[in-house]
Amino acid sequence: MTTIYLIGFMGSGKSSIGKKLSEMMDVTQADTDIFVEEKHQMSIADIFKNDGESAFRTYETEALKQITDKIISTGGGIVEKDVNRSFMRKNGFIIYLQTSFDTIARRLQNDQERPLWQKNMNDQKK
């Protein structure tokens, strides 16, 4: 079976849908964000705070290349790097989960674990 990569904006449902697909298809599933957190033993928010976004993006690329599961839920920003888009195209099938901004805002309104969402929402309030 070809690897399925789920991409989309944060809060679009990549992790939830990845888990459901995994169950339905009886294959393994991984989440790049969880992989990075476990490997570096800190939350994404702490990685951003301590190492910076650039380091996180490097960790994310490394995770993408190391995960061997058949369904991979990616971080929302993974598509920012050409190398990641190319890797996913070469090694599997990409599914983009399109979600409205209103739905994402509702889903993430109380989420304190997404540094870029919190930063952008705080900037808008100023």
Residues 64-90 have a mean pLDDT of 96
In terms of C-beta density within 10 A (0-12 exposed, 13-18 middle, 19 or more buried), how is residue 38 classed? exposed
Q: What is the mean pLDDT of the chain?
A: 88
What is the per-residue pLDDT for 119? 46
pLDDT over 70, % of the chain: 87
**pLDDT at residue 11 greater than cutoff 60:** yes
Angle at 53 between CA 52 and CA 59, to 5 degrees: 100
pLDDT in tens, 36-60: 999 999 999 899 999 999 999 999 9
**pLDDT at residue 122 greater than cutoff 80:** no
Domains in the chain and their CATH numbers?
A: 3-125 (3.40.50.300)
Predicted confidence band of residue 111 (pLDDT cuts 50, 70, 90): low
pLDDT over 90, % of the chain: 71
Query: Rounded CA gap, 59 and 63, in Å?
Result: 6
